[in-house]
A and B are shown apart, each in its own frame.
Chain A
Amino acid sequence: MADQRKCECGHTNPVGTVLCEFCGKPVEENGDRAFPSMRYEGMARRSQTHNKTLVDHVWNFFSSVKIAIILIVITLIAAAVGTIFPQQRYIPVPVSGESGVAAFYKDTYGMLGEIYYLLGFHKLYSSWWFVTLLVMIGMSLVICSLDRIVPLYKALSKPRVNPHLSFLKGQRLRGECEPGSDFAADETLAQAAAILKKKGYRIYREGSTLLGEKARFSRWGPYVNHIGLILFLLGVLLRGLPGMYLDEFIWVREGQTVAVPETPYYLKNVEYKTEYYREDEFPEQLDLENRLIPKNFQTDAVLYVNENADLPGAEPKLREVKSGSITVNNPFVYEDLYLYQASNQEMQLAALNFTLIDKQAGNKELGRVKLDLYEPEQEQVVAEGITVRVISYFPDFYMDESGQPATRTSQPNNPMFAVEVRSAQDGAAEKMIYVSGRIIPESEGGRYTLQIEMPDFTDITGLMVRKDKMLPLIYFGSFVVMVGLVMGFYWQHRRIWLHLEQGRLYLAGHTNKNWFGLKREAEFLVEQLALPMSLVLDSKSKNSAAENKTKEEEKPT
């Protein structure tokens, strides 16, 4: 096989060329066979000329649109399968541990659920094979673009101004004037140039040929779009690297300041509130059956930076950096830290209140005792010479297996206190226990008791803590995708040739999309020039049959 092929116009084409780079004549003598596809302007591409080494095979695999479509369809089907039952993270009831997850699918959805779980579909979107699919689409995007961009660039930057007659006759849209019709060639072409120019075409003239070309840039649309997709996927994959993405959750009581995990920041919840719609705010009378519709969930917060964050073991030294409110849909943003209003627990017990009573003095009230459930004071002075000391505290009290008091969690869901009341006057010390809303004295007939008062409540806000360093890249990629789509779909690359040869005038047109629009413009041109010419637009089905014959994936032997 010759390495280079010489066309009759004198141009030498690289192997794999379908239409001569210079004049557009089909490179292979194909006799009766249909005119080859105009795709990629008939230029040679690497994927069709190399198939020896492993690299060639990998390259050819990923540059094939057929493979791309298969990858897209597999991804589509897999994505759909993942929605048959909820993904693990959307399980609607609390489950604990892997066995709990397994039991959920089995109990809720029966055998199908069990199979779903066993196949790993409950975590489909983070499974290795799904991620591999995405990576393969990414590789395919990179390689298919490289494979096509260079030849397409070469072809588009050198439009075939004076093509071979067979090129013109091979176009889907074409027409020719009967011979013998006499017209001044130069004048007609000059007129045509003026008309096409008005329609926004760029005009190229060479000898007795005229080429009008419009919106060439739209041919780059798909590639711009693919580059955008590559950037997007890159962002998604890099996000998986450590430090790129932070996902934490904090609960903060009103008045409390907590460390924001994995950052040098501290956050104070100044106030949390939920607002509800009032009846008179409804645009229309609604039958809500006494349900309330929330209007706003809001935390007013202050963010501090710990200036000693770099000194291990040092006391935190806080400096306020920003304050503001956090509501749903309006996160609190400081540099790359985002805090989202995600959850709340309202009217939670914050402190228990009691009045200390001296029974021997005729139930005399001695003073108030406050037991903070989060940071209980070890000892408080209630009255002159009388103190109350906390001996032990179990926020979420229960009796463990060995019969010892213990706490399940650090949340005060069921607080239990053991306290000791001491009197400095007589040195007496009396112990008592608070549990489940009752006071149990250590011994009957003691002198003191605690009378239960209204406890303090607090609102706790739940905030998501996020950092997403890849978000700008992901947005940028999306933006590029849109630019590419708009370029490629809302403009079409149109070319119209007028060519005089041996007294005949030929017209040919090509576009990558919207033949209807191109035909209309060509008809307008013919009409304006008053040419005795009728245009033909080949049926697509005929064309596509021809395209099936010259399959794109066909390799030269």
Chain B
Amino acid sequence: MLYSFFGLTAILSLTAYFVRSRNINHGITLAYVGLMGGLGYYLTQHVGKPLNDFFYCDTLGLIFYFILLLVTLVSSIHYVKFVTFRDIKSDVESLHNAGTIFFTGAIVGVLLTSHFGILWAFMEATTLGASILIYHNRTRESLEATWKYLFICSIGIALAFAGVLFLGLAGQQVSNIDFSFSTIRSVSTELNPVWLKACFLLIVTGFSVKLGLVPLFNVDIDAKDASPSQVGASLSSVLMNAGFIAIYRFYEAFSHTSILPWMNKLLMITGILSLFFSAVYILKVKNVKRMFAYSSMEHAALVMIAFSCGGIGYFAAILHLIMHSLVKASLFFQVSQMHRIYDSKLDEKIGSYLRVNPLGGIVLLLGFLSIIAMPPSGMLISELMMFQSLIANNYWWIAILVLLMVLLIIYGLAIKMLGIVFLKKSSASINMRGVTNFESVIQLVLIIIVFYIGLFRPEIIVQSINSAIESLPS
């Protein structure tokens, strides 16, 4: 089944590339989303079971798979509107749709594989897919962003591969070892901790570019800025989830060894440094897309901090990622509309948005409340859990430091976002051509899902996350 899915991914991607008819091209992308829906149904019937020698479906993979499905569907719908307004050439559109299918297929591979080598190969494939998407606008900025992304990602992925090789060096002392998650997990206590540490360090460094964390975060910010908003939405949600799951697989495999405290420290340091950089940049940034990109970095940092605390922090980290994916995607989609209206990404040229586009303004306001974790946003729950886990571990100073940086970020975001939504700006020029409420309604639905999760904590989500983290040490 899964091999057929990847085969069809390749066929549909190639077909989308060669077909120049706009309607057929979008039809192919939507057909692919339908195919993903079919695979999703199949996966729900096989949770916790191997799908074949190299793939299996666990709860975490399934959660992120459905987020991927939802974001890809919404992104495809938004892209139809985007090309109609922007009058995009058919070859650019075809390449984008082909790239979307390829990129999505690669993320499916990352989410469902049970082999470290294949995980790495699919991560490499996401770089190539993302590069095609980032280059969409064919401008000087998009070319610059694509080059930087390709180059830094390639180095990051090469370092991550060195990490996999270190795992191989560690495994040489154990006979009959392969690179499947289950094998490594079962022999992890026999492996040399020095090599495991080196492996984990390189994996976190290499995949930090996918999560948008220190040290390789810059190119991720540029990519989200220079690409169309629906690409930024994917990079800020599904690619971030893929980066997290890649690190999570290694963490889980090594979590019963003596290096667990060391891994937690590394993730904590990465998280705190990333939070610091995002706080500094959010205060000075003027470009709305970059502001949201730094906000994604902030949330990735919070996820890492929560995860490094263990216990309830594991739950908080995954819950936070789920909700962040939906909110940040909807905010990036809304930026696309805003850009259409004001023809600018600079906050000083965007004002009175609630009056100009009331439904869009409500989306922006609710999205803003969500990302700063204001009630009734579900992200408040996950952030509270994160602080709870920090205090439970006696990390009082870190909790205070994190709180201060989060407050700075809220201040930076509030000044800009409230200005955009409520303040009248003399330099703003408005063009309402091609703006409909339809897109905003879809984005609103994504945000309402997050509110619903926060207010009611549906049993299926709680059980799924608990099931995903049950193999981790308590």
A and B pair up: no
List chain A positions with a Cβ less than 8 A from chain B: none
B residues with CB within 8 A of A? none
